[in-house]
Every structure is written in structure tokens, then in C-alpha cells.
């Protein structure tokens, strides 16, 4: 078996972020490290939106990033420290949109950490070009991180040492230490033993001042300033700023934005409303004082989503055509259940009803240099409606457009003239409202037309083409000849006029005889056919676009990016298929066809602008957007209802929108999250979700939510009550009344945990609940709260032989679990009966067990339950579950049980898989084979009767197969005695499974599922990781393909080694040698190589570059998106 | 004889270069301490392992990291007292 690994959605967790001017312009950007991905993010200060400029996988673990600037330079470089053992300096080259390696060097000792309680000052001696140890002193407390205070002309220099409960300012020389406690929340429910630490900080420095923002573990932001007196720091001041999600890193930008890379949950961008200088918020300068209510110094901005994917399932619960992904994600009070659908999220800006059912819609600008559209023109069967765009959209009659006829096309032509094409003629409206009309000859009508900025081509009935071109005076002139086509014209398209040129050179015409012809419009051979393409079905619509390098970005880049950029002809067929071909910009030849089925209706194509470059909106029974994003073509469906006609739309509120019609409504839509594969609907949960299961015959799911270090609602209420009583008791005689009032207020106060975080209860405290949820509608049908310190861990939906017509839900919980070493006072298995078609569950009974029941799996009308290290079979009884059979030979702790036929696959927490056979006659469970490696299994997926895929905690995925020589000891050894007593070495099983494929993903994989992601696609294994990535592993179907990709991977390793200097093979072989898996992510970087290298790699493979990228696209679209 | 001497000097080189390379006098405590230190530093260095532990313990990542750094100092407690006669 050979597999191909691909990432569908990159990880969204951020490890570290830095800000600086990386492209050398005035604007600040952010570079974030997402573990193995380095990403450059741009903020739009006007809209507060985040755009990803570049995302690059480095195939290594990024440990640290830092921005630095050469003296006198205006551009920041990125220094990356990674597990490759090298320090790499990267420069962002805007013209190529790529990070380029500047230098890499072997590591020198640069550990400035004070793990041994010593604070050591190092000085970089520029003369010696070496780090010199200046001074070192012991610290009173163990610090967890340091904040450097600007020195030289900017400030007093020195460091702030953050340690548990305290922050201390230290500097060399005479400066005395200034120490102050970290303020704590008043009346906190946290474990009183806990200290408080700062988790991250950021420095903001302008010419005149600087301050620090530091965040505590609870999410409270403090603004720290230093008071100085002639270079001596006299005071450290701290002021409460706001409460935001706990971050891993944060950045203050010059434009007044605060970027929060949250450790779990969405990342946020805030706009700083005020710096809190002039309000009456209490300032701390020495003693611990409790803090006041949350007040807001920040305006919430846009958030970028990141999920900690815990568990997921693919199913069609909403009864749509395509399955949805159901994902349980997040942590604690910020966790949620999300429904993901493949497609671009569409935000609806406006919907308005029209008097009838329109046929078509266009937007028109008044002048070519204007930024926004002026008119929306809607064509009906017998009339045309002109709407002007302003504060509101209203009908106008003075635009010059003819309103009494249907319209075929309307657009801006030349610099400031308007053009309307209707069945009887062409109406050319000059800027001064002079109107030139061209009427069709005789009884002929205009059937189709194609228009760009300077050219007009119309097709008359019978297949006659008439060509007009605009001359320098703004006059439309008909070309002397007309061209007679052999059959009726079905559709036409003209490319936009390239900047600096007079005309577009090609016209594409789709004819009735299932062909598309390219016709030259060049002056030398005007209206001469250049090339022809036969089609499988009649063409419905054509669209020539320039993609691969945006029309405006191209000038900045000043170069063409190899084979990828250029003209593309998109052909929408009547049978719902979209073809995309490369149109040679010199000869007009068509090549490199890509095919994709879009839907059941004929495909209509519209050219629109997305992020400054051309894109194609294709409409069939679903609407799709074909666009170029981050060096790759994307064809993504829109998550929106069926549309009929559309046009680009630009206004002040919506600079890159779409105006579309659907039955009798006019809609203005915006697509904002380009590049995102999924859009989502989310339902909040209370605690971290652990597992969920779909109830059969309903669209409901049962979720178990469990949090360590947390209080249940009941305990929380008790503790509050207790604290309130203490508060009153502690108060003196005269303040008692006041204290009672305060206590009452405290009891009433209900802090939003999703905002402030939940109180930390301390180790060994568990809170858990069971929830019945409809994820499609997002409503909770039932919740069952468990007691304090009882935690649910396993869940299964099953049927029992003795009650075959009823469905049960089994939930396993542990009581008083401690994590390290693992102990518990017992476990309970709850049996619930599913009632009311899955809308209700009723408790039947509880079964006590002596260890944690962490895995439940239905098995032949009974259930298999892993209780600690014991594997047991239970059957349903009247008062409790009845134990039928037990196996005690699993080494440590059973985390997962699955079964196929007679075989049972049991995963141990640290000793990989065990293959177990149930022998009915003897009623025994026999381990007949196991694995040779100790894998710390997190997820398993059965591929076939002999093959299992498993993922481990360290980020590896392996496929394990029982060879044909392995027998499950039934035929040859009917008693099972041999397998029972014939133990292999070190008490392992006597037979061993073979690893047939291994691969290091780099992130902890938490779920594996075999499924088809797109309708009509082939099956693949989909995995999700803790950092939020979704990837697939697909099998190769032919040796030829495998051979090709193996060679491509080999050449890519040589020609395009990972950016941070990590050896690609050693990265993919981090824990086990990589075997039989080809890294598709590396192969797909082929598309972002420069064209020279692309050519040389393709030559080695005896192909040309476009064939290679077609292969890459093919394998992706066959299985996924 | 020359070979054996050479191997010994190589071992010394390894021991000075890589902390934790064992020798004939390594005690159980030393070995375990190195094992624990290796484990903790690997957990700190792999971001998804940090996420994993932070989720399991329901603590902030900074706190988990701080705890692990603290544990690096003496993961297995103070060294056992050696019997006097050796």
C-alpha cells in the first residue's frame, strides 16, 4: 500500500507572532508561526480585517521567531530558530511573494534563560561580534519570563522579571530592584493555593514613550509603565486594561490594533479605544489590591478561527446533498460543537425584491478611473431597470439607458462612455449624454455579445459576427468585414484589454456544433480563426480571464511567475461541467484542460474581481468561485442558495462584492474568507468536549464534556456562598452592613465564563456533563450534570441482542481521578435508553466498575468495555450491565476498542495495538497478535479485515497489517490453548503485525476516519489534529502514479529543501522511518517554485511543468477540494 | 590494548559532548534524572505536546511550561546519599 498525504486545512493554532515592516513599506505586518507553518499576515487598518499574504510550510518545528532590522534599514527580517539546529534569517520578497533565505548558521550558545535562578546579563559587543557575559545575580523567585525594557535613548534599559505572583524590575549598576505583586481579581473562586503568573507580554514603543501590556493566566491585561527620575526607575505602575482570551503571544501595532494569538479558541484583533490614561481606573503601584469590574479599553475586531479539534464525524444530518463535518472543538467555557460545510462563506449585504423575475444584472461605473460602481442594471423579459448606487439604491431614468427593451449587455466602454446592447442594436452613450445608435440590419437580431473596455463583438442570428473597436476619439467603429460562422453562436467571450495595449487579441466563440473557436482580433489577421477545441457537450458560457498574477499586483511584481500566470479560457458546458484551459497568449492555442463537475444545471460564467485580481464565478445548481490564491487555483463552492446571474459589485461599504439575482430578488453578497475551505455554524458548550456520538434515525448527537481543574455549577454556588459568609464575618462591627451588601452583590454577580474564563479549582477537581444536542439547529435538548469529581470519558451508541429494537447510549465515567500517577476511586457505566426518536434519553441503570471505563464498543449484540487495563464483554441486565468475559493481558490502559467481524482491535495507551479474538465456545478473549513498536495510540481506524491505521500522541500515523501467515487461532487451534499459553518474548503475543506505512504529521492527531469528502469522489482517510489541521491520506491506484509522485518528491527534496534547514526525510521520520507515504504538501510546493526550477524538475520527470501541476491538482480533486 | 584505550577516550568525548551518555558508574538516579529532563524538554519543544498537556490539565500553556521548567531542576528529587564505604 502506498499513500499520499495532503493537508486540506492548515493548522490554525499560533505558537508565536511578531510584527514589523517585512515588505519594506510603511505598513506593519505580522508574521506568525503555526508550529510547522510560517505565515505573513496583513492587517487592513480601515476595515480591521486580516489577510494572509503568504503561508509556507517549513517541514520542521519552529521554536522561536524574532524580527530584526539592520542598522539604517527600513525592512525587518525574520530570524527563525527551529528544530533543524540552525538559525535561519528570512527576508520577505514582496515581488515574488516568498520568503527567501538570507543566511543560515550553526547554532551558537544563545540561551539567556534563567532556569537556575540566576539572572544573567549578556551584552552583544558589536566590535567583537560576540556575546559577552556581563553580570549575573540570583533571583528570589523562579521567573517564568523576562520583558526587556528599551534602553539607550528610548528608556532606562533593564529587564522586568515576571515570576509567580510578582513582577520585578532589575537593572545593572545602582538601580535598586523594584518589586510589585501581580494584582488579583477580587473574590476569586480559584484555588486559594494558586499563584498568579503573567503568560505573555508585548512592548509598545514610540519616539516619546513606551509601555508594556502583560497578560495574566486569567486573561486580564495590564498596562505597565515605568516612572523614571534621571535614568533611575523610581516606580513600576500597573493598570488594568481589559480582559481578553488567554494568549500565547500578542502584538500592538502602530495603527492601534492589538493582535491576540489565543492559546485555545479564536484569535482576535482588537482596536485600542483608549490607553486608559485619563479614566478613574485604579492604578497599582505597590500592594495587592483586588481589581474592579471589567471595563473595556478595546473594541472587538475580527476574529480568526482556530479549533482544537477533539473529535469529529462526517455525516449528512441536515439532509443536504453533501455531507457535513461535525466537529467538537475548543477548551473549557470557550468550547463548541461546529458544523462545517465545504464552501466559501457568503455574507449577505442586502436583499431586495424586484417587480418581476429578472434575466440578468450588471454593474456599471460612470468613469473608468472611478473606484465604485454607479449603476446596477437589471434586465427583464421586456424591460430594463436602472438603479443608481448611492446612500440607498434607487431607480433612475436619466442614465441614458433604454428602458423599454431587454438588455443583452451593459458596461462602461472607453474612459467615460456607457454601452448598452439590446436585441435590436447597440446604444453608445457618451459622457455628455450624446447617444449613438447602431441598428441591426434587416430582421436580424443580436443573439450574443462580448464586450471589454474597448472592443465589442456581436453575433447576429444565423451566426454572423460583427466587430467594433473604439478609436482614440472615443468613437465605436465597425470593422470593414463581418464573419459568417457555420452555425449559431452559443456564447462568446473577450479578454480584458491588457494595460498599455489597445485591444485584447483573442475572441472565444462557442458554437452549436460542440466546438469552441479562438478568433484573432489582431489588426494583421482580424477575424481569422486561430484554433479550435471540440467539446463533449454544447458550451453554455465562456470566460477568458487572466489569472495567476493579479492585474494590479503584476505591475508591482514586474515579472511573470512561470507557467502559472496567463490567460485562461473557462468553458461552462450544458451538462454542468466546467473546463479550464490555458490560452496561449501568442498563438491562441488551447492546452492543459482541467475538468470539474459543478452541478446539474448548465454552467454560466461571470468574471468578477477578488482581492484585486480576476476570478470566475461559475453557476450551476451550486455556485462556485474559481480563483487564484497563494500560488494555487482554488475552485470552491459558495455556501449559498442557487443563483441565476451575477456581476461584480464595488461600493464604499463593499469594495469587492457580487450582485446576483435569484428568482425575483436582487442580492448583494460579499466573500471575505478566501482560501478557507470550510464555513461553519457553531453551538457553544460548557466544558471541553471529549467524545460525541450520533443517535441513529435522528440528527441529534450526545456529547460528553469534561474538564479537569474545574468546578461544577453546584460546587461553584457553594463556594460563592461560603466566600460571601466569610466576607461578612471578616468585616468589623461597623462595616458589617456594608460587607453584607457587598456579599449580596457578589452572589448576584454572574461573570460570563466564556469571557473571563472559568475558575481553576486545582488538581483532581473534575466537572463534567452529558448533553443531548441538535447540532444543525444548535439547540440543547437535555443536559445531565455529573457530580463534582465525576468525569465522563467514554461513550457509545449500541443495541443489545436481548432488546434488539431499542437503542442504548452507554457512558463511562470515573470518580476522583488523579492524573499522575493515575488513580481513581472507581468508575460508573451509565446506561441510557434512547426515546422519542432520539429526542430524549432515559437513565436505565448504573453499573459500578473498579477502574476508568475509557473505551466502549458494541460487539455482536453486546458491548466491549475497556475498564482500566481489563477488556470485558458486558450484556444488558435488568439492574445493571452483566459481565460476561474478561481479558487481563493488555499492558497498561485501554484507550480505544474497535471491532471488525470476529476480530477486536484494542489500543493501549502506550503499547500500541492488540488484536483480540473472541472465542464463543470457551467464552474467552484471546490476544492473538500485537504490534512490535510501542505507539502511544490516540486514534485508530480499521481499513480492512487485516489492516488498521493508528495515530499516536507524538504526531505519527501508521498503518499496521496482519500478514497472511497470521491466523486467529481458530482453525488450527480450536481450543485456543496455544494462543493463550504460547506467549512470545517479553509477554507479548506470539504473532506480530507488520507496519506497512508510517508518516510523521508533526501535530498530535486526535481522530481518523475513512470517508468520502466530496460527492462522487473516492474514499480517503481523513485526520484532524490538535492544532486544528485537517488532512487526508489517499491510496495510489496505479503504480505509474506512485512512481511519478515518488520521483517528484525526490526532486523536490533536492531542488526545494525546507525553508528552515530541516532535512525533509528526517522530519517525516521523526519517530519512525517514513515508509510508503509520499508527502503531498512538499509535492504541491512545486507550484510555488520559480519557473526555471519547475522546468528542470519537470524535465527530470520527462514532462512539462503544466502537466506536473495538473497531476497535482488531479490527485487532490479526486478525493477532496 | 591500544584499541581499548581509544574507545575509552571516545566515550569520554561523547560524555563531555552529550549530557546523559552513560558510563559504568551511572546510578539509577542519574539515569532517571536524564530521562525525565529529556522528556520534559521534548514536551516543551514540541508545540502540540504542550497543547496536549495544557488541554489535559486545563492550565494555560505558559503555566504548563513554567511547571516543566521548574521540574527540570530536580525531576527525581535530590540525589540519594551514597553509602560511605564506596
Q: What is the 3-state secondary structure (H, E, C) of A490-520?
A: EEEEECCCCCCCCCCCEEEEEECCCEEEEEE
Q: Locate A1081 and state its grid cell.
A: 504538501
Chain A residue numbers touching B59 (CB-CB < 8 A): 709, 760
- How many CB pairs lie under 8 A apart between chains A and B? 85
Closest partner residue to A217 (CB to CB) among B57, B63, B72 is B63
pLDDT tens per residue, range B13-43: 888 888 778 877 888 888 999 999 999 999 9
Q: What burial class does residue A162 get, using C-beta atoms within 10 Å of its C-beta: 0-12 exposed, 13-18 middle, 19+ buried?
A: buried
The verdict on a CB contact (< 8 Å) between A709 and B49 is no
pLDDT tens per residue, range A547-557: 865 433 333 33
Q: What is the rounded CA–CA span in Å between residue A912 and residue A866?
A: 15
pLDDT tens per residue, range A315-342: 666 656 677 788 888 888 888 888 878 8
The verdict on a CB contact (< 8 Å) between A197 and B63 is yes
CB A792 within 8 A of CB A770: yes
Rounded to the nearest angstrom, the minimum Cα separation between B25 and chain A is 26
Tally of CA atoms within 13 A in the half-sphere of A157 that contains its CB: 13
Q: What pLDDT sits at residue A352?
A: 86
The verdict on a CB contact (< 8 Å) between A308 and B55 is yes
The verdict on a CB contact (< 8 Å) between B60 and A263 is yes
In the structure, what pLDDT confidence band is assigned to residue A751 with cuts at 50, 70 and 90?
low
Chain B residue numbers touching A955 (CB-CB < 8 A): 46, 48
Q: What pLDDT sits at residue A115?
A: 37
Best interface-test mutation with B: which of A1004, A1006, A1007, A1031 has the largest number of B CBs within 10 A? A1004
Q: What pLDDT sits at residue A556?
A: 36
**A356 φ/ψ angles, rounded to the nearest 5 degrees:** -145, -165
Chain B residue numbers touching A707 (CB-CB < 8 A): 58
Best interface-test mutation with B: which of A244, A760, A895, A938 has the largest number of B CBs within 10 A? A760
Q: What pLDDT sits at residue B83?
A: 66
HEC readout, A794-851: EEEEEEECCEEEEEEEEEEEEECCECCCCECCEEEEEEEEEEHHHCEEEEEEEEEECC
Q: Above pLDDT 90, what percent of chain A?
A: 24
The verdict on a CB contact (< 8 Å) between B62 and A200 is yes
In a domain, B67, yes or no: yes
The mean pLDDT of chain A is 83
Chain A residue numbers touching B43 (CB-CB < 8 A): none
Chain B residue numbers touching A760 (CB-CB < 8 A): 58-59
In the structure, what pLDDT confidence band is assigned to residue A120 with cuts at 50, 70 and 90?
low
The DSSP 8-state label assigned to residue A802 in this structure reads T
The mean pLDDT of chain B is 82
Mean pLDDT of the region A1006-1027 = 84
The verdict on a CB contact (< 8 Å) between A709 and B60 is no
Q: Locate A395 and state its grid cell.
A: 431607480
Q: Decide if pLDDT at B1 tops 60.
A: no
pLDDT tens per residue, range A773-784: 988 888 899 999
Mean pLDDT of the region A692-720 = 88
Least confident of A513-517, A958-962, A981-985, B6-10: A981-985
Q: What pLDDT sits at residue A1039?
A: 92
The verdict on a CB contact (< 8 Å) between A13 and B72 is no
Closest partner residue to B58 (CB to CB) among A710, A1003, A1026 is A710
Chain B residue numbers touching A198 (CB-CB < 8 A): 62
Q: What pLDDT sits at residue A883?
A: 94
HEC readout, A28-45: CEEEEECCCEEEEEEEEC
Selected residues 46-85 of chain B with any CB under 8 Å from a CB in chain A: 46-49, 51-52, 54-63, 65-66, 69-70, 72-73
Strands A3-9 and A1030-1035: antiparallel
In a domain, B38, yes or no: yes
Closest partner residue to B72 (CB to CB) among A15, A115, A1026 is A115
**A204 φ/ψ angles, rounded to the nearest 5 degrees:** -115, 125
Beta bridge partners of A420: A410, A427
Least confident of A26-35, A298-307, A820-829: A298-307
Residue, of A627 and A292, whose pLDDT is higher = A627
pTM above 0.90, yes or no: no
Selected residues 966-1025 of chain A with any CB under 8 Å from a CB in chain B: 1002-1004, 1025
In a domain, B7, yes or no: no
Residue, of A1088 and A895, whose pLDDT is higher = A895
Domains with residue ranges and CATH for chain A: 9-105 (no CATH), 141-243 (no CATH), 889-1001 (no CATH), 1020-1119 (1.10.150.910)
Best interface-test mutation with B: which of A11, A62, A162, A248 has the largest number of B CBs within 10 A? A248
Q: Decide if pLDDT at A498 tops 90.
A: no
Chain B residue numbers touching A115 (CB-CB < 8 A): 69, 72-73
Residue, of A1115 and A230, whose pLDDT is higher = A1115
In a domain, B57, yes or no: yes
Q: Which helix (DSSP H) or strand (DSSP E) does residue B65 occupy?
A: helix B61-73
Q: What pLDDT sits at residue A114?
A: 36
B40: nearest Cα among B22, B2, B66:
B66
Rounded to the nearest angstrom, the minimum Cα separation between A144 and chain B is 6
The total of structural domains in chain B comes to: 1
Q: Is A145 on the interface with B (CB under 8 A)?
A: yes
Q: Which domain holds residue B53?
A: 26-72
The verdict on a CB contact (< 8 Å) between B58 and A955 is no
Chain B residue numbers touching A910 (CB-CB < 8 A): none
In a domain, B42, yes or no: yes
In a domain, B18, yes or no: no
Strands A283-284 and A232-243: antiparallel
Q: Is A819 on the interface with B (CB under 8 A)?
A: yes
**In the block, which residue shows the cell 425584491?**
A353
CB A212 within 8 A of CB A202: yes
Q: Decide if pLDDT at A1065 tops 90.
A: yes
Q: What pLDDT sits at residue A682?
A: 82
Q: What is the rounded CA–CA span in Å between residue A518 and residue A531?
A: 5
Q: Decide if pLDDT at A1076 tops 80.
A: yes
Mean pLDDT of the region A845-872 = 94
Strands A924-930 and A937-942: unpaired
Q: Decide if pLDDT at A629 tops 80.
A: no
Q: Decide if pLDDT at A163 tops 60.
A: yes
CB A941 within 8 A of CB A949: yes
In a domain, B13, yes or no: no
In the structure, what pLDDT confidence band is assigned to residue A818 with cuts at 50, 70 and 90?
very high
Q: Decide if pLDDT at A106 tops 60.
A: no
Q: What pLDDT sits at residue A770?
A: 94
Q: Which residues contact A881 (CB under 8 A, 6 or more apart)?
A: A810, A829, A831, A845, A847, A863, A874, A875
Q: What pLDDT sits at residue A926?
A: 86
Query: C-alpha distances in angstroms, A149 versus A109, A121, A205, A349?
Result: 23, 13, 10, 47
Q: Is B13 on the interface with A (CB under 8 A)?
A: no
Q: Is A331 on the interface with B (CB under 8 A)?
A: yes
CB A313 within 8 A of CB A326: yes
Tally of CA atoms within 13 A in the half-sphere of A433 that contains its CB: 4
Q: What is the rounded CA–CA span in Å between residue A195 and residue A218?
A: 11
Q: What pLDDT sits at residue A978?
A: 57
Q: Is A746 on the interface with B (CB under 8 A)?
A: no
Q: Is A335 on the interface with B (CB under 8 A)?
A: no
- In chain A, which residue's Cα lies nearest the Cα of B62? A199
ipTM value:
0.86
Chain A residue numbers touching B56 (CB-CB < 8 A): 708, 819
Q: Above pLDDT 70, what percent of chain A?
A: 88
In a domain, B14, yes or no: no
The most confident of the ranges A230-244, A329-343, A819-833, A965-979 is A819-833
In the structure, what pLDDT confidence band is assigned to residue A829 with cuts at 50, 70 and 90?
very high
The DSSP 8-state label assigned to residue A822 in this structure reads T
Q: What pLDDT sits at residue A107?
A: 39
Q: Decide if pLDDT at A986 tops 70.
A: no
- In chain B, which residue's Cα lies nearest the Cα of A114? B69
Q: Is B19 on the interface with A (CB under 8 A)?
A: no
Mean pLDDT of the region A467-483 = 86
Query: C-alpha distances in angstroms, A645 versus A199, A449, A617, A621, A859?
Result: 52, 16, 10, 12, 53
Amino acid at each position: 500500500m502506498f499513500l499520499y498525504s495532503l493537508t486540506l486545512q492548515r493548522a490554525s493554532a499560533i505558537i508565536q507572532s511578531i510584527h514589523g515592516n517585512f515588505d519594506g513599506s510603511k505598513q506593519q505586518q505580522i508574521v506568525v508561526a503555526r508550529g510547522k507553518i510560517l505565515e505573513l499576515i496583513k492587517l487592513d487598518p480601515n476595515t480591521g480585517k486580516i489577510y494572509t499574504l503568504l503561508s509556507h510550510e517549513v517541514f520542521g518545528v519552529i521554536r522561536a521567531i524574532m524580527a530584526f532590522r539592520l542598522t539604517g534599514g527600513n525592512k525587518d527580517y525574520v530570524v527563525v530558530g527551529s528544530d533543524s539546529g540552525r538559525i535561519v534569517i528570512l527576508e520577505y520578497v514582496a515581488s515574488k511573494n516568498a520568503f527567501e533565505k538570507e543566511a543560515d548558521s550553526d547554532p551558537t550558545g544563545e540561551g539567556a534563560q534563567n532556569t537556575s535562578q540566576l539572572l544573567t546579563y549578556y551584552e552583544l559587543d558589536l566590535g567583537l561580534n560576540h556575546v559577552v557575559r556581563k553580570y549575573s545575580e540570583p533571583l528570589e523567585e523562579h521567573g517564568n519570563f523576562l520583558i526587556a525594557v528599551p534602553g539607550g535613548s528610548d528608556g532606562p534599559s533593564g529587564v522586568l522579571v515576571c515570576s509567580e505572583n510578582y513582577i520585578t524590575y532589575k537593572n545593572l549598576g545602582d538601580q535598586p530592584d523594584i518589586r510589585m505583586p501581580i494584582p488579583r481579581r477580587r473574590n476569586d473562586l480559584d484555588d486559594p493555593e494558586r499563584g498568579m503568573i503573567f503568560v505573555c507580554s508585548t512592548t509598545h514603543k514610540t519616539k516619546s514613550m513606551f509601555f508594556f501590556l502583560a497578560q495574566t493566566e486569567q486573561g486580564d491585561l495590564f498596562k505597565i509603565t515605568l516612572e523614571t527620575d534621571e535614568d533611575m526607575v523610581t516606580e513600576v505602575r500597573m493598570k488594568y486594561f481589559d480582559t481578553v482570551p488567554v494568549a500565547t503571544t500578542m502584538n500592538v501595532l502602530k495603527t492601534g490594533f492589538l493582535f491576540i494569538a489565543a492559546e485555545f479558541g479564536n484569535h482576535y484583533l482588537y482596536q485600542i479605544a483608549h490607553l486608559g490614561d485619563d479614566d478613574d481606573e485604579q492604578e497599582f503601584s505597590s500592594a495587592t489590591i483586588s481589581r474592579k469590574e471589567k471595563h473595556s479599553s478595546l473594541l472587538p475586531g475580527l476574529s480568526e478561527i482556530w479549533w482544537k479539534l477533539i473529535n469529529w464525524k462526517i455525516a449528512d444530518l441536515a439532509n443536504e446533498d453533501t455531507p457535513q463535518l461535525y466537529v467538537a472543538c475548543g477548551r473549557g467555557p470557550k468550547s463548541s460543537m461546529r458544523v462545517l460545510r465545504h464552501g466559501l462563506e457568503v455574507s449577505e449585504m442586502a436583499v431586495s425584491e424586484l417587480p418581476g423575475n429578472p434575466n440578468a444584472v450588471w454593474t456599471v461605473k460612470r468613469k473608468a478611473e472611478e473606484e465604485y460602481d454607479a449603476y446596477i442594471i437589471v434586465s427583464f423579459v421586456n424591460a430594463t431597470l436602472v438603479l443608481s448606487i448611492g446612500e440607498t439604491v434607487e431607480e433612475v431614468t436619466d442614465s441614458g439607458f433604454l428602458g423599454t427593451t431587454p438588455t443583452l449587455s451593459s458596461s462602461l466602454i472607453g474612459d467615460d462612455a456607457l454601452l448598452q446592447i439590446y436585441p435590436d442594436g447597440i446604444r453608445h452613450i457618451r459622457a455628455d449624454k450624446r447617444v449613438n445608435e447602431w441598428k441591426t440590419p434587416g430582421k436580424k437580431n443580436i443573439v450574443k455579445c462580448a464586450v471589454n473596455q474597448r472592443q465589442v463583438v456581436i453575433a447576429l442570428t444565423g451566426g454572423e459576427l460583427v466587430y467594433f473597436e473604439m478609436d482614440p476619439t472615443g468613437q465605436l467603429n465597425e470593422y470593414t468585414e463581418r464573419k459568417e460562422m457555420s452555425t449559431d453562436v452559443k456564447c462568446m467571450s473577450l479578454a480584458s484589454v491588457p494595460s498599455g495595449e489597445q485591444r485584447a487579441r483573442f475572441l472565444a466563440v462557442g458554437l452549436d456544433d460542440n466546438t469552441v473557436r479562438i478568433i484573432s482580433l489582431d489588426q494583421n489577421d482580424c477575424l481569422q480563426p486561430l484554433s479550435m477545441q471540440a467539446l463533449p457537450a454544447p458550451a453554455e458560457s465562456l470566460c477568458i480571464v487572466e489569472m495567476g498574477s493579479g492585474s494590479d499586483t503584476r505591475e508591482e511584481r514586474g515579472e511573470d511567475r512561470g507557467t502559472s500566470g496567463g490567460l485562461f479560457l473557462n468553458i461552462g458546458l450544458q451538462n454542468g461541467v466546467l473546463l479550464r484551459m490555458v490560452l496561449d497568449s501568442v498563438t491562441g492555442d488551447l492546452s492543459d484542460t482541467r475538468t470539474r463537475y459543478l452541478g446539474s444545471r448548465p454552467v454560466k460564467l461571470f468574471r468578477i474581481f477578488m482581492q484585486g485580481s480576476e476570478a470566475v464565478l461559475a453557476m450551476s445548481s451550486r455556485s462556485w468561485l474559481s480563483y487564484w490564491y497563494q500560488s494555487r487555483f482554488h475552485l470552491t463552492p459558495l455556501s449559498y442558495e442557487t443563483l441565476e446571474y451575477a456581476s461584480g459589485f464595488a461600493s464604499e461599504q463593499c469594495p469587492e462584492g457580487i450582485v446576483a439575482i435569484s428568482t425575483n430578488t436582487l442580492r448583494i453578497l460579499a466573500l471575505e474568507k478566501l482560501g478557507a475551505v470550510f464555513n461553519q455554524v457553531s453551538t457553544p458548550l460548557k466544558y471541553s468536549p471529549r467524545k460525541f456520538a450520533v443517535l441513529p434515525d435522528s440528527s441529534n448527537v450526545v456529547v460528553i464534556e469534561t474538564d479537569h481543574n474545574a468546578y461544577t455549577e453546584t460546587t461553584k454556588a457553594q463556594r460563592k456562598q461560603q466566600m460571601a459568609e466569610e466576607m461578612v464575618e471578616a468585616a468589623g462591627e461597623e462595616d458589617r452592613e456594608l460587607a453584607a451588601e457587598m456579599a449580596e452583590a457578589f452572589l448576584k454577580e454572574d461573570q460570563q465564563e466564556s469571557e473571563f474564563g472559568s475558575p481553576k479549582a486545582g488538581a483532581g477537581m473534575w466537572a463534567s456533563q452529558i448533553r443531548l444536542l441538535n447540532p444543525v439547529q444548535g439547540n440543547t435538548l437535555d443536559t445531565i450534570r455529573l457530580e463534582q469529581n465525576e468525569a465522563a470519558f467514554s461513550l457509545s451508541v449500541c443495541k443489545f441482542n436481548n432488546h434488539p429494537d431499542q437503542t442504548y447510549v452507554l457512558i463511562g465515567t470515573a470518580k476522583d481521578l488523579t492524573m499522575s500517577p493515575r488513580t481513581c476511586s472507581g468508575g460508573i457505566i451509565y446506561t441510557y435508553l434512547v426515546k422519542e426518536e432520539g429526542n430524549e434519553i432515559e437513565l436505565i441503570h448504573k453499573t459500578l466498575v473498579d477502574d476508568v471505563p475509557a473505551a466502549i464498543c458494541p460487539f455482536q449484540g453486546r458491548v466491549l468495555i475497556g475498564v482500566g487495563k481489563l477488556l470485558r464483554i458486558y450484556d444488558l441486565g435488568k439492574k445493571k450491565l452483566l459481565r460476561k468475559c474478561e481479558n487481563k493481558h493488555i499492558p497498561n490502559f485501554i484507550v480505544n476498542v474497535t471491532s471488525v467481524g470476529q476480530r477486536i482491535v484494542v489500543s493501549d495507551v502506550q503499547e500500541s495495538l492488540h488484536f483480540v479474538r473472541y472465542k464463543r465456545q470457551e467464552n474467552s478473549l484471546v490476544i492473538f497478535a500485537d504490534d512490535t513498536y510501542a505507539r502511544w495510540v490516540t486514534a485508530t481506524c480499521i481499513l480492512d479485515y487485516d489492516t488498521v491505521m493508528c495515530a499516536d500522541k507524538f504526531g505519527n500515523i501508521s498503518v499496521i497489517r496482519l500478514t497472511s501467515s497470521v491466523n486467529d487461532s481458530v482453525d488450527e487451534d480450536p481450543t485456543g490453548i496455544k494462543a493463550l499459553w504460547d506467549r512470545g518474548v517479553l509477554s507479548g503475543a506470539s504473532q506480530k503485525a507488520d507496519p506497512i506505512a508510517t508518516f510523521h504529521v508533526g501535530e498530535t492527531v486526535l481522530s481518523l476516519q475513512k470517508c468520502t469528502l466530496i460527492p462522487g469522489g473516492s474514499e480517503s482517510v481523513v485526520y484532524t489534529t490538535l492544532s486544528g489541521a485537517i488532512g487526508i491520506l489517499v491510496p495510489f491506484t496505479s503504480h505509474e502514479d506512485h512512481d511519478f509522485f515518488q520521483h517528484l518528491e525526490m526532486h523536490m527534496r533536492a531542488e526545494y529543501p525546507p525553508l528552515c534547514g530541516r532535512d525533509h526525510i528526517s522530519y517525516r521520520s521523526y519517530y519512525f522511518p517514513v515508509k510508503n507515504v509520499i508527502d503531498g504538501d512538499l509535492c504541491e510546493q512545486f507550484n510555488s517554485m520559480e519557473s526555471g526550477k519547475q522546468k528542470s524538475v519537470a524535465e527530470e520527470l520527462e514532462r512539462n511543468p503544466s502537466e506536473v501541476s495538473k497531476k497535482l491538482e488531479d490527485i487532490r480533486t479526486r478525493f477532496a477540494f | 590494548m591500544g584499541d581499548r584505550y581509544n574507545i575509552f577516550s571516545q566515550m569520554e568525548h561523547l560524555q563531555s559532548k552529550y549530557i546523559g551518555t552513560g558510563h559504568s558508574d551511572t546510578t539509577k538516579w542519574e539515569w532517571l534524572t536524564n530521562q525525565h529532563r529529556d522528556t520534559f524538554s521534548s514536551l516543551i519543544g514540541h508545540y502540540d505536546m504542550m497543547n496536549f498537556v495544557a488541554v489535559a490539565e486545563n492550565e494555560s500553556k505558559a503555566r504548563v511550561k513554567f511547571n516543566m521548567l521548574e521540574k527540570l531542576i530536580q525531576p527525581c528529587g535530590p540525589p540519594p546519599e551514597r553509602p560511605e564505604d564506596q
